[in-house]
Structure 1
Amino acid sequence: MTIIIILLGFAFGFFLQYSKVNTFNTISKMAILEDFTVVKTIATAIGIGAILLSIEISFGLASYHIKPFIVGGIVVGGFVFGVGMSILGYCPGTMPVSLGQGSIDALAGMLGGFVASFAFTVLNPYLQNLLGPDLGKLSLIFNMDQTSALHFLFVFLIGTLFIAISFWLNKVEKKKDFKWFYSALGISVVASIIFAVSDRGLGASTFYPYIADIITGTTDNDYFIKHVEKSGSYEMIFLMGAFLSGLIFSLIKKEFKLKIVHENWARFKGNSNIKRLIWAFIGGFILLFGARLASGCTSGHIISGGMQLAVSSLVFAVFVFAGFLLTGKLFYKK
């Protein structure tokens, strides 16, 4: 099983690289509405993935793994996550891939994420009463017969809508490059295989508290045992495959290069390596603290949850992009 998980992570990393959706330049340009690759890829992965997952479930090959709609955690965590994502220019799942390609700022972001994850573990007992209320595991299709024609029709229509929005955005950009579509298709297939083979959803952010809590010895608590240990160990292996993908393909293509300051950062913030590393650390801290508040990230909440049409994940996505775009407007000024 370990080899399978590594291969799935390797494929995930490849599809992220194919459309460069893992890079700082691509993500930060989305924050200032200059590049829609990120949202096109995510929306299409949700659309195709929702259709594939509904077929899997109807044949008994997979099951739902919907995250509960804990209102405070989803709303506040989503917004905070978006702020961190905008400053950092990476997501929890894209940092290992970019690190494999030589992006040292991604490593700084990961370190910030480890510190934030440890802080959340310590603060978790005091935060629980502030994150509610818990509305349960809600989905737009939960009350439908999963083998009914109505179920398939509804999922197909919603999935098609997500895909259509992506193509409309591509038309708005007046771009003829469709690498984002092939990346989204690949990511949705990888996510669907994970649902079937591993009986869980695609995810990345639990890797950070898993490593942080093991290093600091804060594993003897209910939070780690119930919410971190199993998923974190899986995601560590998965992201190891993603890191190797970034490293190997960048070496094959002779594009591996140690880099701290990327073009879009230099454009707004200058060429200081120290400044970039400090902000990457801060962004990583904010990003992962938001992810732990909401119990998920772009892959584990937005893509996996979106494929299940989970209410918690769709609301999370709204607040992520609200924080992401607002921070982009305020943070990236010439």
Structure 2
Amino acid sequence: MTLLILVFGFLFGAALQHASLNKYNVISGMATLEDLTVAKTIALAIGVGVILINFEIGLGLATYHVKPFMVGGILIGGLIFGIGMAVLGYCPGTLAISLGEGSLDALTGIIGGMLGGWVYTLVLPSIEPLLGANLGKISLHSLTGENPTVFYLLVVVIGLVFIAAAFGVHKLEKSTSKKWIGAGIALALLNVIIFSTATFNRPIGASTVYPYLGDLLTGTTSNAYFEKIEASGSWQLLFLGGAFLSGLVLSLLRKDFKLTLIHENWQKYKGNSSAKRLVWAFAGGFIMIFGARMAGGCTSGHAISGGMQIAIGSLVFAVMAFAGLLGTGKLFYKGLK
């Protein structure tokens, strides 16, 4: 099973690399609306996944893994997550891939993320009231599941709307690359397989590993939160280990492995200072993971996996994360010097 997790992590990393979705320039480009690859790939993955996963579950081949809609956590955490993602230029899953390709700012972001996860463990008892109220695991299925005709009709319609939106964004961007299509479909298929009760019976996720590692390294394991995340964190460690290997192996095969700290987009807006990039990458990683843990998930676990389940909390998280990402992109990259 360990080897299988690594293999699927490798495939996850390969899918993202295919469309350069792990790259700092692409994610920061989304924050400044200069590169829409992230938005259209996520929309396509959700659209295809909505149809496949809900029918998979309906056939008894998988189960739902909807996250609870914690109002404060989703709204505040999602916004904080988007802010950190914009500053860092990576999301929790892409950090491991880019580190494999030699991005040193990704390593700095990982260290900041582990600290953010550890601090979240420490302060959770104090901020827990801020995360509520818990509206429960609300999804399209929980709202319409008693009427399967309506439910599956809406599943198809919503899936097609997301797919159409992805191609609409592509047309708006006027890009000639079609690699995002393969990446979006691959992400949907990977989720379908990992959701299956025949394999892992879980969604793809990436942010839990940061508090898991932070707590392990500091010995902060005798608490309810670590017990809650331990199983998921250990699974994600192997999964992202496979993603790291994907970044390393494929970049070596492509002959473009390179130790890099200052990327083109950072240089364009922020200059060549290595110290400045290190400080902001560390801060971005801290902020992003702290927000992800408040919300109970990240781009992979909430926006994509949750979106495919048409989970209301996850869709709200995606809106808040993109609001934080775009707002910070406008201020941090185009406003502040």
Q: TM-score, normalised by structure 1?
A: 0.98
1:253 aligned residue: 254
Change in 2 beyond 3 A, CA 1:166/1:146: farther
Matched letter for residue 38 of structure 2: V
Indicate if the aligned counterparts of 1:80 and 1:287 stay in contact, CA closer than 8 A.
yes
Indicate if the aligned counterparts of 2:97 and 2:248 stay in contact, CA closer than 8 A.
yes
Indicate if the aligned counterparts of 1:201 and 1:304 stay in contact, CA closer than 8 A.
yes
Distance (Å, rounded) in 1 between the aligned partners of 2:319 and 2:140: 16
Is 1:136 aligned with 2:130?
no
Matched letter for residue 201 of structure 1: P
Distance (Å, rounded) in 2 between the aligned partners of 1:292 and 1:137: 17
1:222 aligned residue: 224
**CA deviation string 1:69-103 (max 9, x = no partner):** 01000000000000000000000000000000000
- Which runs of structure 2 are paired with 1:270-309 in the superposition (5 Å)? 270-309=271-310
1:235 aligned residue: 236
Distance (Å, rounded) in 1 between the aligned partners of 2:221 and 2:56: 35
Matched letter for residue 318 of structure 1: V
3-state DSSP of counterpart to 1:141: helix
3-state DSSP of counterpart to 1:158: helix
Matched letter for residue 290 of structure 2: F
**Uncovered stretches (5+) of structure 2, i.e. residues with no partner:** none
- Which runs of structure 2 are paired with 1:182-197 in the superposition (5 Å)? 182-196=182-196, 197=199
Is 1:244 aligned with 2:250?
no
Q: Which one of 195, 200, 219 corresponds to residue 202 of structure 2? A: 200
**Uncovered stretches (5+) of structure 1, i.e. residues with no partner:** none
Indicate if the aligned counterparts of 2:140 and 2:151 stay in contact, CA closer than 8 A.
no
Is 1:173 aligned with 2:176?
no
Matched letter for residue 282 of structure 2: F
1:21 aligned residue: 21
**Shift in Å at residue 145 of structure 1?**
3.8
**Shift in Å at residue 150 of structure 1?**
2.9
- Which runs of structure 2 are paired with 1:71-82 in the superposition (5 Å)? 71-82=71-82
Identity fraction in percent: 55
**Shift in Å at residue 147 of structure 1?**
9.0
Indicate if the aligned counterparts of 1:80 and 1:323 stay in contact, CA closer than 8 A.
yes
Matched letter for residue 6 of structure 2: I
RMSD: 1.1
**Shift in Å at residue 143 of structure 1?**
3.4
Indicate if the aligned counterparts of 1:84 and 1:286 stay in contact, CA closer than 8 A.
yes
The alignment covers a number of residue pairs equal to: 333
1:213 aligned residue: 215
Distance (Å, rounded) in 1 between the aligned partners of 2:150 and 2:7: 36
**Shift in Å at residue 211 of structure 1?**
0.6
Change in 2 beyond 3 A, CA 1:146/1:12: farther
**CA deviation string 1:290-320 (max 9, x = no partner):** 0010010000010010000001100001110
**Shift in Å at residue 148 of structure 1?**
3.1
Matched letter for residue 185 of structure 1: I
**Shift in Å at residue 146 of structure 1?**
7.8
**Shift in Å at residue 36 of structure 1?**
0.5
Q: TM-score, normalised by structure 2?
A: 0.97
Matched letter for residue 320 of structure 1: A
1:322 aligned residue: 323
Matched letter for residue 75 of structure 2: V
Distance (Å, rounded) in 1 between the aligned partners of 2:190 and 2:129: 36
Distance (Å, rounded) in 1 between the aligned partners of 2:271 and 2:193: 42
Distance (Å, rounded) in 2 between the aligned partners of 1:16 and 1:110: 18
**CA deviation string 1:256-297 (max 9, x = no partner):** 000000000000000111111111000000000000100100
**CA deviation string 1:236-270 (max 9, x = no partner):** 00000000000000000001000000000000000
Matched letter for residue 174 of structure 1: K
Matched letter for residue 275 of structure 1: K
Distance (Å, rounded) in 2 between the aligned partners of 1:224 and 1:50: 31
**CA deviation string 1:131-150 (max 9, x = no partner):** 11111110123233489343
Indicate if the aligned counterparts of 2:67 and 2:311 stay in contact, CA closer than 8 A.
yes
1:313 aligned residue: 314
Distance (Å, rounded) in 2 between the aligned partners of 1:176 and 1:268: 25
**Shift in Å at residue 55 of structure 1?**
1.8
